[in-house]
Structures are given as structure tokens and as C-alpha cells.
């Protein structure tokens, strides 16, 4: 029997990124505002693990640090537009 072919697009394989916090042996902190801004979009949303390349443990700590910085008015909740 002939093999059926599907017109389904192939999945793209993304290379694994190395966690920047694990590499530098640092923890995300709300004191480092410029470091936290790297993990936010232009609109102020927190980037996902897949896009930022952070491990699960540091992603949780990063989101907590961003939320605390927003509460203390060190970061804005939305963009300034």
C-alpha cells in the first residue's frame, strides 16, 4: 500500500537556551531593575520560559521579583503610551 502523505507543517525544533541566572550563579532580585526589564515585553508583560530561556525555578523567582517591583513602584504595570 502506498504511504499516506499529510500536508501538515513540520514542527520547528528550538535549541535549548541556558539559564542566565544559573550560568552566573545569581538570583533575580527586585533591586536590579535593569536586569528585570530584560525579561519584560514592550507592553510590560513577563516573558515566558520558552522565550527568555530561564529555568523553571528562576522563572518563578523572576515573576515574584517583577511583581514585587511593580508593587513598590520600581516598575510600571503597563507601557507609558
pLDDT tens per residue across span 29-64: 989 999 999 999 999 999 999 999 999 999 999 999
Structural domain spans, the chain: 20-71
Torsion of CA 37, 62, 17, 15, to 10 degrees: -90
pLDDT confidence of residue 54:
94
Per-residue DSSP letter, 74: S
Asked if 59 and 49 touch (Cβ cutoff 8 Å), the reply is yes
> pLDDT tier at 72 (50, 70, 90 boundaries)?
very high
pTM of the model: 0.76
Report the CATH fold assignment for 20-71: 30s Ribosomal Protein S18 (4.10.640)
Per-residue DSSP letter, 35: H
Asked if 79 and 43 touch (Cβ cutoff 8 Å), the reply is yes
Q: What residue spans of 4-80 are helical by DSSP H?
A: 20-24, 33-37, 49-52, 56-71
Query: Which residues make beta-bridge pairs with 44?
Result: none
Amino acid at each position: 500500500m502506498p504511504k499516506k502523505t499529510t500536508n501538515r507543517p513540520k514542527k520547528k525544533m528550538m535549541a535549548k537556551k541556558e539559564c542566565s541566572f544559573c550560568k552566573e550563579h545569581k538570583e533575580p532580585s527586585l533591586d536590579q531593575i535593569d536586569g528585570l526589564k530584560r525579561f519584560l515585553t514592550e507592553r510590560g508583560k513577563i516573558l515566558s520560559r520558552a522565550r527568555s530561556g530561564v529555568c523553571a525555578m528562576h522563572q518563578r523567582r523572576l515573576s515574584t521579583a517583577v511583581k514585587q517591583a511593580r508593587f513598590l513602584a520600581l516598575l510600571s504595570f503597563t507601557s507609558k503610551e
